[in-house]
Chains A and B, each alone.
Chain A
Amino acid sequence: MVNWIWLFFILAGFVVAAMNGNIGAVTEAAFEGAKTGVTVSFGLISVLVFWMGIMRIAEDAGLLQKLAKLLSPFVRYLFPSVPKDHPAFGYILSNMSANILGLGNAATPAGIKAMEELQKLNPEKDTASAAMCTLLAINTASITLIPTTIIAIRMNFGSQNPTDIVGTTLAATAIALAAAIALDKWYQRRSASSHTPPPAKPPAAGK
């Protein structure tokens, strides 16, 4: 998919430029784009170095675990099908806490560990369970406190107030997450009530 999108931008640009008799613009834009890509990436260094330093302090101070504790009742509500003391909870919580603090490098391994634990509870190994769908929904909505990359880019292009999108981003992400959770709960209720009445009982009792 990404391959096709990339090819489409270049090819459509080439065709339109040729039709407009403006083919010189393609070469110029290609090199200009490459330059912007590098400049922007280098511009990220300052903010990323600083922020990852701060986040390491948070990690070393055990703030991830603190945050996980705060989130724990919420996560129990989201994953009713996971047994109380199952190890999956721990991984789900570290996945969410790392996402909130913007620690992508820590969030993904924890998320995959959580998926592995959920897979152990999954009766059909090639089909996503309800809990797996919920974990995915949370991750695609990705609550992040500080959108550092975007702030850095805005800074690089001389924004008067590069961080003024922190509040709007947080509000939008909260609404997106609420929508994901609502639809996920709706699908869960639907598949639990109408779809499979006979096999729904034994697993429910087993948990």
Chain B
Amino acid sequence: MTNIINAISAWAIPVLIVFIPLYAAYRKIPVYESFTEGAKGGFDTAIRIIPHLVGMMVAISIFRASGAMDMLIGLIAPFMAKLGIPADVLPLALLRPITGAGSLAYTTDLIKTFGPDSLVAQIASTIQGSTDTTLYVLTVYFGAVGIRKSKYALRVGLFSDFVGFFAAVAICYLVFA
């Protein structure tokens, strides 16, 4: 299992980088022109994140530097220790469904504080990448067509986030610890 997961990590990107242009060339697409045309959008996408990421990084940095983060983590650590989960990732589980920028900033904070190759950072990276911002998706998709009663949709989304969180922790322990 661990071998398969590590193989995917190592092979996914190289295979896509070769396969996609190769297939496109076979379909007679001018691959390089296509590449540069699409790549233009990357700059704007990165720049558009700045206000969100700065706002959230400022708030989380203050929270950590003041000592408030340590108080919060100290409070939940005994409970999380029983479950065998690093307490530092729990705030991420709460932020992830609510705010995409906030959870990205928190993940960045963990990567910065503990180092990118620490288990905490690996778990956080896995959680951040494996699910979307449930409340945002709900608001955008249902809001667009005027749905006001979402029935069980929110419960399904949050349940999926909950399962994804524990799955991420378990898998990272399996692969990295």
Contacts and interface: CB of A to CB of B under 8 A. Distances in A.
Nearest to B129: A147
Contact of B125 (A5, A12, A116, A150): A150
Nearest to B3: A167
Taking chain B's interface residues, is the majority helix, strand, or loop, or is none over half, making it mixed?
A: helix
A172 B168 contact: yes
Taking chain A's interface residues, is the majority helix, strand, or loop, or is none over half, making it mixed?
A: helix
A145 interface: yes
B12 A29 contact: no
A141 B38 contact: no
B42 A37 contact: no
Residue in A59, A146, A169 with the greatest tally of chain B CB atoms within 10 Å: A169
Interface in A143-161: 144-147, 149-150, 153-154, 157-161
A59 B41 CA distance: 14
A111 B99 contact: no
A159 B126 contact: no
Given A22-B67, A57-B29, A9 B46 contact: no
B116 A158 contact: yes
B164 A176 contact: yes
Interface of B: 4-10, 12-13, 16-17, 20-21, 23-24, 27, 29, 31, 34-43, 45-47, 49-50, 53-68, 71, 95, 97-99, 102, 104-105, 107-108, 111-112, 115-117, 121-122, 125-135, 137-138, 140-142, 144-153, 155-157, 159-161, 163-164, 167-168, 171-172, 175-176
Given A166-B13, A187-B155, 17 more contacts: A5-B99, A13-B68, A30-B58, A30-B62, A33-B57, A41-B54, A52-B38, A119-B147, A126-B148, A127-B151, A140-B157, A146-B16, A149-B104, A160-B117, A170-B8, A172-B171, A183-B160
